[in-house]
């Protein structure tokens, strides 16, 4: 019976189905993301301050440090440790991409990242969406200026809560 079902499935369609196409696309993406890291460079970043867009007496000073691996094709992976808006130790592990020469300006760049955020526990757990035991999805949209081959300044939009100013150094 199983042989007949497999034979019927093979003869009824020669085009790959949606699961096969999705699996092939994910495998191709994984292969692309898994290669090229050895040819890139490291980036360290420091954000000493992130002003909030709306005042709250519960807000604490926000700071962050980050370590990223930047590939030659502008994909990046990194981890950031920070004190969140409520003074809780937090982290963000992410994948992203830098878009150099934004709007035709050689030094202007954009950056998008997405990953896993940890923090916002206890009474602050509802301050980020989809939080489960302190873990939630995270994303950042950023714009920056590359001063030279090493130094850059980036402004990150932290949802609708704050902006973060970050100085970074590329170790190349």
pLDDT per residue of the chain (172 residues) written in tens, 0 to 9? 444 444 444 444 566 777 777 777 666 666 666 666 778 999 999 999 899 999 999 999 999 999 999 999 999 999 999 999 999 999 999 999 999 999 999 999 999 999 999 999 999 999 999 999 999 999 999 999 999 999 999 999 998 889 999 999 999 9
pLDDT on residue 14: 61
pLDDT on residue 32: 61
pLDDT on residue 16: 73
pLDDT on residue 39: 86
- Residue of 9, 69, 79 whose CA lies nearest to 39: 69
pLDDT on residue 30: 62
User: What is the H or E stretch that residue 25 is in?
Assistant: helix 18-34
pLDDT on residue 160: 84
Architecture in CATH of 40-171: Beta Barrel (2.40)
- In 132-149, which positions are buried (b, 16+ CB within 10 angstroms) versus exposed (e)? eebbbebebebbbebeee
Give CA torsion, residues 107, 112, 117, 121, to 10 deg: 80
pLDDT on residue 29: 61
Contact 151, 114 (CB under 8 A): no
Q: Which two tokens stand for residue 150?
A: 């090493």
Cα 75 to Cα 110: distance, rounded to the nearest angstrom: 12
pTM above the 0.85 mark?
Answer: no
């Amino acid at each position: 019976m199983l042989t007949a079902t497999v034979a019927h499935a093979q003869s009824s369609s020669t085009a790959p189905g949606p699961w096969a196409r999705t699996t092939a696309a994910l495998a191709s993406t994984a292969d692309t993301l898994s290669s090229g890291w050895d040819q890139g460079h490291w980036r360290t970043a420091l954000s000493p301050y992130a002003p909030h867009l709306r005042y709250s007496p519960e807000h604490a000073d926000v700071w962050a440090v980050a370590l990223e691996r930047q590939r030659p094709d502008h994909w990046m992976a990194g981890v950031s440790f920070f004190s969140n808006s409520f003074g809780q130790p937090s982290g963000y592990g992410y994948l992203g991409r830098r878009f150099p020469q934004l709007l035709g300006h050689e030094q202007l760049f954009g950056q998008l990242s997405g990953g896993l955020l940890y923090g916002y526990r206890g009474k602050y757990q509802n301050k980020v969406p989809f939080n489960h035991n302190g873990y939630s999805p995270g994303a950042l949209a950023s714009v920056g200026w590359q001063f030279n081959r090493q130094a850059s300044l980036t402004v990150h939009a932290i949802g609708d809560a704050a902006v973060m100013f970050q100085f970074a150094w590329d170790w190349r």
